[in-house]
Amino acid sequence: MWRRVVPSPLPRQIFEHRPVKWILEKGAVVIYAGGGGIPTMYDLEEVNALIGVEAVIDKDFCRRNRQARCHRRSGRY
């Protein structure tokens, strides 16, 4: 059995963060950045176009990114 090794770069941005923050402000429970996302990057040839990349998303680093962007309420995000 073979396993592919792909990079796990540090996440720089979580897309669609504003809608998630809006939902949180309305008092709903939101689960995101929990894994299963699609690693993307901006296409260098086309403006504002995202392309998929062969990488994995590190949930711990995503969690830190998410915590930095969301305000704390009662110790929960």
Predicted confidence at residue 77, as pLDDT, reads 45
pLDDT over 70 at 48, yes or no: yes
Nearest alpha-carbon partner for 17 in 53, 55, 67, 76: 67
Residue with tokens 């990349």: 53
Q: Chain-wide mean pLDDT for the chain?
A: 76
Nearest alpha-carbon partner for 59 in 75, 39, 30: 39
pTM for this one?
A: 0.54
**Cα distances (Å, whole numbers) of residue 43 to 36, 50, 53:** 21, 6, 10
Would you list the domain boundaries of the chain? Answer: 17-69
Nearest alpha-carbon partner for 8 in 37, 31, 30, 47: 37
